Amino acid sequence: MSAIEIRELHDMAEFAQLYRVFDSIWHPEPGNPPVTVELMKVFSHSGSYVAGAFEGGEMVGGSVGLLAAGGSLHSHVTGAAIGRGIGLALKYHQRDWALARGLTTITWTFDPLVRRNARFNLVKLGAMPEEYLEGFYGEMADAINEGDESDRLLAVWRLTGEREPYSLDGAVTGLAERDGLPHALPLDGAPGGAPDRAVGGATVLVATPPDIETLRRGDPGAGKAWRMAVRDVLGGLMRDGGSVVGFTDRGEYVVDLKQA
């Protein structure tokens, strides 16, 4: 991570560079970029967050966020090459940027079916989902999301409080093995399974598919089945008051039903 430089962006040429980075990741249809160059300019000029990640002088990632109600930064879009520590470096920078401005939380949305993102957000950072957002973005026309429902979890990363300074390394521990917990949605529960949102127990597990991106390209029907099952089970549990408290090494959300 020491070779990665993160800095705020301020001029149109840099915004255009970041636009191209995002385009190379999502390959959106023309007219449907995750964020335009003009909006980056507005966000930057008005005091919101626009940053780029550089490796050897080349922009390899970046993030765009806006100031939100309640002393929060909402991270609208973050994209970077996978497996090189760039995403984590961007989160370190976001956290420092927010704390320097007296902000207490960072929020963002992510697809509940993408295991690597769930593990990164919940286990690596300690951000927790606080709301299930059904069809949040409507239809999305890009190479990653096209043809699927845009359900998202709202992740909330709390930066202050009794756990400050917040640990970015393994903030959620002890959740690797929860063999004794019942499954509201088992690992083999979709497609074709019988999810049981009413399963007994104070804490339950909700599974995710191993690789939803590959699955929905090769078997769209199976991908759709997983989407609907997780929407019904995880979304239903959260709407009924359940709290997501972790994510296991096997790819299951740990949901505390004590308040449900």
pLDDT number for residue 176:
41
Asked if the structure places residue 168 within a domain, the reply is no
- Do 153 and 189 fall into the same domain? no
- Do 139 and 223 fall into the same domain? no
Would you place residue 159 in the very low, low, confident or very high pLDDT band (cuts 50, 70, 90)? very high
pLDDT number for residue 136:
87
Q: Return the CATH number at 71.
A: 3.40.630.30
User: SS3 for 144?
Assistant: coil
For residue 64, give the nearest of 126, 142, 136, 8 by alpha carbon.
Answer: 8
- Do 187 and 153 fall into the same domain? no
- Do 135 and 205 fall into the same domain? no
Asked if the structure places residue 164 within a domain, the reply is no
Asked if the structure places residue 89 within a domain, the reply is yes
Q: Is the pLDDT of residue 1 over 50?
A: no
Asked if the structure places residue 101 within a domain, the reply is yes
* Beta strand 72-80 pairing with 105-110: parallel
Residue with tokens 């970077």: 80
- In whole angstroms, what is the distance from residue 183 CA to residue 206 CA? 6
- Do 151 and 24 fall into the same domain? yes
Query: Under the phi-then-psi rule, with left for phi > 0, alpha for psi from -120 to 50, and beta for the rest, what region is 38?
Result: alpha
- In whole angstroms, what is the distance from residue 15 CA to residue 6 CA? 14
Pick the more confident residue, 177 or 132. 132
- Do 11 and 98 fall into the same domain? yes
- In whole angstroms, what is the distance from residue 70 CA to residue 154 CA? 15
pTM for this prediction: 0.84
Peptide bond into 33 cis (omega under 30): no
- Do 17 and 115 fall into the same domain? yes
Q: Is the pLDDT of residue 90 over 90?
A: yes
Which whole number is the average pLDDT over 32-40? 92
Asked if the structure places residue 66 within a domain, the reply is yes
Would you place residue 172 in the very low, low, confident or very high pLDDT band (cuts 50, 70, 90)? very low
- Do 154 and 190 fall into the same domain? no
Asked if the structure places residue 22 within a domain, the reply is yes
Domains in the chain, number: 2
- Do 216 and 97 fall into the same domain? no
Asked if the structure places residue 199 within a domain, the reply is yes
- Do 150 and 222 fall into the same domain? no
- Do 132 and 38 fall into the same domain? yes
pLDDT number for residue 201:
62
Range of the domain at 122: 4-158
Report the chain's mean pLDDT, rounded to a whole number: 85
Asked if the structure places residue 197 within a domain, the reply is yes
Pick the more confident residue, 156 or 186. 156
- In whole angstroms, what is the distance from residue 227 CA to residue 233 CA? 10
Neighbours of 181 (CB within 10 A): 17
CB neighbour list of residue 213: distance below 8 Å, 6 or more residues apart: 114, 144
pLDDT number for residue 37:
96
